[in-house]
Each structure stands twice: as C-alpha cells, then as structure tokens.
C-alpha cells in the first residue's frame, strides 16, 4: 500500500462495519504509519480497482494487523486470507515471530474468518486502553 491508495482504501474501510475508523486513520496519520512500517501494508487489486486492504506494523517484538477489508463483491475468494498471509510473511522476514489483531466482539463473521485461517482466539486476555493525554 502506498499513500496514493488512501482515498480508495478509506472508501473501502468506510463501507465495512467490522473496521473501526478512528483517530489515526486520517491521510496524514496513515502516511506516517506507512513511513514508519515500510513494506508491511498491502492492497489487493482487481482490474484497476482496489478490492482489499490491510495495514500491519510492529514494535520490534510483536506484529499488529489492522483494518483488513475486502470489497463485498470480492469476498470468499481468498483475498482476505492472502492479504493477512502477506503481512505475516513480511513480519516474519524481519524477525517478528508473532502478530496480534483486535476484533470487535460483535464481529462474529470476522471471528469465524480469523479462526478459519488459523488465528488463535485469546479468551484469557482482555484488551485495555488509556489515552496518553
């Protein structure tokens, strides 16, 4: 993914209930994210149109995957699996052994997808957050 893809990718994310857009998703923030995490975020293209997108990053210890989305007419044909796999391969190539994703509790089909492609649900964990200011 490059920042030139931003408008199309943002439009795709906006159509997906399972993608929680928030601060951090503005054009400037995504530009900074991509610069900080080069070669770790991907788009899927059909013809000239972006039909899938995913962000990934790492903190030197663990990988983090965000905002995986596939356009409705292109689902169930392996695009989501392929995008997630590209992230894992790219993280593995730079020595990151494990990757996390946060999925909305209400996103049942998302849970099924992640389980189906081999991700482990961490029922022993609860996510907690606090603002830095």
| Positions in 3-32 near ligand COA (CB under 6 A) | 16, 18-19
Beta-bridge partners for 64 = 57, 100
CB of 101 to ligand COA, least distance (A): 6
Q: Using CB under 6 A, which of 3, 37, 81, 86 touches ligand COA?
A: 81
Buried b (16+ CB within 10 A) or exposed e, 64-80: bbbbbbbbeeeeeeebb
Distance CA 66, CA 56 (A): 6
| Positions in 42-71 near ligand COA (CB under 6 A) | 68-70
Spell out, one character per residue from 96 to 115, where the chain touches ligand COA: x when CB under 6 A holds, - when not.
-----x-x---x-xx-xx--
Rank residues 106 and 131 by Cβ distance to ligand COA and give the closer one. 106
- Burial class of residue 81, CB neighbours in 10 A (0-12, 13-18, 19+): middle
Distance CA 133, CA 130 (A): 9
Chain positions contacting ligand COA, by CB under 6 A: 16, 18-19, 68-70, 75-81, 101, 103, 107, 109-110, 112-113, 116-117
């Amino acid at each position: 993914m490059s920042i030139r893809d931003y408008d199309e990718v943002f439009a795709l994310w906006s159509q997906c209930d399972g993608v929680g857009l928030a601060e951090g998703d503005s054009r400037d923030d995504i530009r900074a994210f991509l610069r900080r995490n080069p070669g770790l975020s991907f788009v899927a293209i059909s013809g000239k149109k972006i039909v899938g997108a995913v962000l990934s990053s790492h903190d030197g210890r663990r990988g983090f995957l965000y905002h995986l989305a596939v356009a409705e007419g292109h689902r169930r044909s392996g695009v989501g699996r392929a995008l997630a796999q590209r992230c894992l391969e790219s993280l593995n190539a730079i020595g990151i052994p494990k990757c996390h994703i946060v999925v909305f509790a209400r996103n049942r089909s998302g849970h099924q997808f992640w389980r189906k492609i081999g991700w482990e649900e961490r029922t022993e964990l609860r996510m907690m957050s606090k603002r830095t200011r």
